[in-house]
Amino acid sequence: MAILSVVFGHMLQHSTPHPYLASVGFMAIFGVDLFFCLSGFLIGRILMQVSERWPQEQERGVMQFWYRRWMRTLPLYFFFLFVELQIYWGGASSLSAQRAYLVFAQNLAWPMPSFYGLTWSLTVEEWFYFLFPLLILLSIGFGKTPRASVLTAIVIFLVIPPVLRFFLFDASEWDYFGLAETNWLVTVYFSVVALVFAGLIPFFSGLSPTRFAWFNRFVKYTSQIAYSLYLGHVVAFAACIYMFKRLGCYDTIYPNPWLTYPIFMALVYLLASFTYFAIERPLLTLRDKRPKVDANTPIKAQVPN
């Protein structure tokens, strides 16, 4: 549901939407909010499990976590970043701007450039993956238990980001429901929405499959390729629009959303399926073949000759 709401919201922004649909473009931002909560729930649960071994593994355990996360997120991100650089340079025409995208600094503490705008959320996630485990390890180093260290990191992340957002954030970029008047309103908005979606996670996790097998397969497959869908759907939209123009049917198809949307979605799923099976899944298989760190084995003994 999260990825489809993002794709649908962005599809409305890249088309001539029907009047009945034009008012629901905000679904994209709600989809990202839900993504954040789901990611935090899943990754948080993983961290609570693996951090139990970190008093013995120390930095090796953190590096193992980073390796598994970044093998999941970075290769596909860099692939689509390269594709975007080939088709659209707006907002990233300088070398310094492009370097920022390599280290997820495109909107670290400043407005997001127009180039590959959906990666603003990846910046948030990747820095979370980097900093949150470090806080846990640092807390363990001060003598706290792993569980207490996780709770300490959670409290820090609940307090510091809203404070920084209040003082550093440019609210004018997020004019949702007229909230861009003050940073205070936007800070409250993001925090409250995140808490609401977090509260809904137990409900969603308790849902059972429907009696329609085809629908269950669709949901499962969409979840499987969700990351590819997220990174590539705007590229697919651009490819569709380019194809319409090249074929001379832009003026006929593009203004009609009932013709445009099925074509958009078909190409979105086609591209996501290709990148998942050609890039994402092989690298995940390679990642999972790597032996896990054994805290009782010296580092030299873990490195094959």
Asked whether residue 285 is assigned to any structural domain, the reply reads: no
Length of the chain: 305
The reported pLDDT for the residue numbered 281 is 95
Asked whether residue 260 is assigned to any structural domain, the reply reads: no
Asked whether residue 9 is assigned to any structural domain, the reply reads: yes
User: Domain count of the chain?
Assistant: 1
Q: Report the alpha-carbon distance of residue 193 to residue 195 in Å, rounded.
A: 5
The reported pLDDT for the residue numbered 303 is 35
The reported pLDDT for the residue numbered 201 is 77
The reported pLDDT for the residue numbered 255 is 86
Residue 260: how many other CB atoms lie within 10 Å = 21
Residue whose C-alpha is closest to residue 279's, from 212, 232, 218: 232
Q: Report the alpha-carbon distance of residue 130 to residue 122 in Å, rounded.
A: 12
Digits of tens for pLDDT over the chain (305 positions)? 778 888 888 888 777 776 667 666 666 667 777 788 888 888 888 998 999 999 888 889 999 999 999 999 999 999 999 888 887 755 556 666 778 899 998 887 777 888 888 888 899 899 999 999 999 999 998 889 999 999 999 999 888 887 877 777 665 565 555 555 566 666 677 777 778 877 777 777 777 888 889 899 998 999 999 999 999 999 999 889 888 898 898 888 888 888 888 999 999 999 999 999 999 999 999 998 876 655 444 434 333 33
Asked whether residue 11 is assigned to any structural domain, the reply reads: yes
For 69-106, the pLDDT digits (tens) are 999 999 999 999 988 888 775 555 666 677 889 999 88
Three-state SS across the chain?
CHHHHHHHHHHHHCCCCCHHHHCCCCHHHHHHHHHHHHHHHHHHHHHHHHHHHHHHHCHHHHHHHHHHHHHHHHHHHHHHHHHHHHHCCCCCCCHHHHHHHHCCCCCCCCCCCCCCHHHHHHHHHHHHHHHHHHHHHHHHHCCCCHHHHHHHHHHHHHHHHHHHHHHHCCHHHCCCCCCCCCHHHHHHHHHHHHHHHHHHHHHHHCCCCCCCHHHHHHHHHHHHCHHHHHHHHHHHHHHHHHHHHHCCCHHHHCCCHHHHHHHHHHHHHHHHHHHHHHHHHHHHHHHHHCCCCCCCCCHHHHCCC
Q: Report the alpha-carbon distance of residue 80 to residue 122 in Å, rounded.
A: 13
The reported pLDDT for the residue numbered 62 is 92
Asked whether residue 187 is assigned to any structural domain, the reply reads: yes
Asked whether residue 186 is assigned to any structural domain, the reply reads: yes
The reported pLDDT for the residue numbered 133 is 94
Asked whether residue 235 is assigned to any structural domain, the reply reads: no
The pTM (predicted TM-score) of the whole model is 0.83
Q: How far is CA 113 from the centre of its chain?
A: 17
Q: How far is CA 140 from the centre of its chain?
A: 28
Residue-number span of the structural domain to which 157 is assigned? 2-209
The radius of gyration of the chain from alpha carbons, rounded to an integer in Å, stands at 21
Asked whether residue 91 is assigned to any structural domain, the reply reads: yes
With beta carbons less than 8 A apart as the criterion, state whether 69 and 36 touch.
no
The reported pLDDT for the residue numbered 297 is 46
